[in-house]
Amino acid sequence: MPTYLYCVVNPDGSDDEQFEVFQAMHEPALTAHPTSGLPVRRLPVASQVQLGSDASKLSNKNLDRLGFTKYERAGEGVWEKKAGQGPPSIHRDNE
């Protein structure tokens, strides 16, 4: 069963508490919080990609070919580019 993300809707229409519910796909969306009875709405959520054992899809060469930029942590507050366009490294500002 998929997990759906909901949020409580305040009287002014703004979003409040978020919670997850396991529901079958054929079940209708909730309209009220299961315990409080407050109105709710289902939030759109991007599906999670299942990578399985094919890690080659995330290789630096393949990411570069597809137009992605990848940085890896090289030290405290320093990230080095491993694929794609952009500066060779990025640094966290020291405040």
Residue 93 CA to residue 22 CA, distance in Å, equals 42
- Identify the pLDDT of residue 14: 92
pLDDT on residue 54: 64
Quote the domain boundaries for residue 8: 3-42
Distance in angstroms (rounded) separating the CA atoms of residues 47 and 49: 6
For residue 61 the two structure tokens come to 């060469």
pLDDT, position 50: 57
- Same structural domain for residues 37 and 62? no
Residue 51 lies in a domain: no
Residues of the chain with pLDDT under 70: 1, 46-55, 94-95
If one counts every other C-beta atom within 10 angstroms of the C-beta of residue 4, the result is 17
pLDDT of residue 17: 92
41: which 2 tokens? 């709405």
What type of residue sits at position 64?
Answer: D
The 3-9 sheet, strands edge to edge = 15-22, 3-9, 40-42
* Pair 62, 86 in one domain: yes
Query: pLDDT value at position 28?
Result: 94
Q: Which two tokens stand for residue 38?
A: 């407050």
Examine residue 68 and state whether it is found in any structural domain, yes or no.
Answer: yes
